[in-house]
A and B are shown apart, each in its own frame.
Chain A
Amino acid sequence: GDSVTQMEGPVTLSEEAFLTINCTYTATGYPSLFWYVQYPGEGLQLLLKATKADDKGSNKGFEATYRKETTSFHLEKGSVQVSDSAVYFCALSRGGNNRKLIWGLGTSLAVNP
C-alpha cells in the first residue's frame, strides 16, 4: 500500500544552517505531495505542496521538488531561523482525496541561535 518515509529526528541546527529533511514515498500512480508543519502549541498547517512530477512547492523560504524518478519530496531551506523550530510532516494524497492523506512520522527540528 501507499506509504511515506521521513528521516528520523530530532534534527538540531544552528541558525543560518542549510536544512534538508528527506521524504520518500511509495504509491502507484501520481499522488499529490505535501509538507505540513506543526509549531509548538499550534495545530498542523500546510507548508507547501506539489501535485505533479517536477513541480516545486515553495513557501517561507522552504522548497521541495516532486521527483518521480526517485519517489522523493525532500524539504530544503537555505538558511534556517530559530522560528523554524517545529515538527515537519510529509504526506501524500491519492487523487486529491483529503480523506486518504498518508502521513510520515514527522521530523522534529530545533534551531539554536
Chain B
Amino acid sequence: GAVVSQHPSWVICKSGTSVKIECRSLDFQATTMFWYRQFPKQSLMLMATSNEGSKATYEQGVEKDKFLINHASLTLSTLTVTSAHPEDSSFYICSAPPGLNTGELFFGEGSRLTVL
C-alpha cells in the first residue's frame, strides 16, 4: 500500500536553532500534504496544508513565519521550525491523501522534536 515516510524520527536541538523535517510519499504523488502537531495526551492538531507548487495554507493561530512549509515536488514536503524554543517541543506528523476528498490519509511515522 501507499507509504509516507518522515525523517528524522526524533531530533534534539538547542534553543534558537532551526530544524527541518521531511515528509515523503514513497509510491504515489501527493499534490497536498498535511502537517499536524500532537501534544502529550492531546489530539492531532492540523497546522497547515502543504500545496505542491504554491504557498501552504495555515490554520488559524499557526505562525507561518515560525513553521515554514515547502512542497518542492510531488513527493516531498518539508516543515522547518525556525528559531526553535522549548515550547515548540512536540510530536510532528505529516500525512498525504491517496485521493481527493476520500477522507483517507496515509501518515508518516512522526517526528519527535525536543528543544533544549
Residue of A nearest to B99 (CB): A98
B74 within 8 A of A: no
Contact indicator A43/B110 (Cβ below 8 Å): yes
Binds B, one of A16-24, A69-77, A102-110: A102-110
Give the chain A neighbours of B97 by CB distance below 8 A.
98
9 extra interchain contacts, Cβ-Cβ under 8 A, other than A93-B103, A98-B100, A101-B103? Answer: A38-B107, A43-B6, A43-B107, A45-B107, A98-B32, A98-B97, A99-B32, A99-B46, A105-B42
Give the number of residue pairs across the A-B interface with Cβ within 8 Å.
60
In this assembly, does B88 line the interface, its C-beta being within 8 Å of a C-beta of chain A? no
- Whether a CB of chain A sits under 8 angstroms from the CB of B34 is yes
B55, chain A: closest CB distance, angstroms: 15
Query: A82 interface residue, CB < 8 Å from B?
Result: no
* A-B CB proximity, top 10 nearest: A43-B107, A44-B107, A93-B103, A96-B101, A103-B43, A98-B97, A103-B44, A43-B109, A105-B43, A32-B103
Is A27 an interface position by the 8 A CB rule? no
With contacts A32-B103, A41-B109, A46-B104 taken as known, whether A98 is within 8 angstroms of B41 at the C-beta atoms is no
Chain A residues with CB under 8 Å of B44's CB are 89, 103
B interface vs A, CB < 8 Å?
4, 6, 32, 34, 41-44, 46, 49, 93, 95, 97, 100-110
B32 to chain A, nearest CB (A): 7
Is A46 touching B43 in the complex (CB atoms < 8 A)? no
Give the contacts of A1-47 with B (CB-CB under 8 A). 4, 32, 34, 36, 38, 41-46
Q: How far is the CA of A10 from the CA of B112 in the complex (A)?
A: 21
The residue in chain A whose Cβ has the minimal distance to the Cβ of B105 is A98
How near does chain A come to B60, taking the closest CB pair, in angstroms? Answer: 12
Chain A residues contacting B41 (CB-CB under 8 Å) are 105
Whether A43 and B101, one on each chain, are in contact in the complex, defined by CB atoms closer than 8 angstroms, is no
Bound CA span A49–B32, Å: 21
Q: For residues 56 through 83 of chain A, which have their beta carbon under 8 Å from a beta carbon of chain B?
A: none
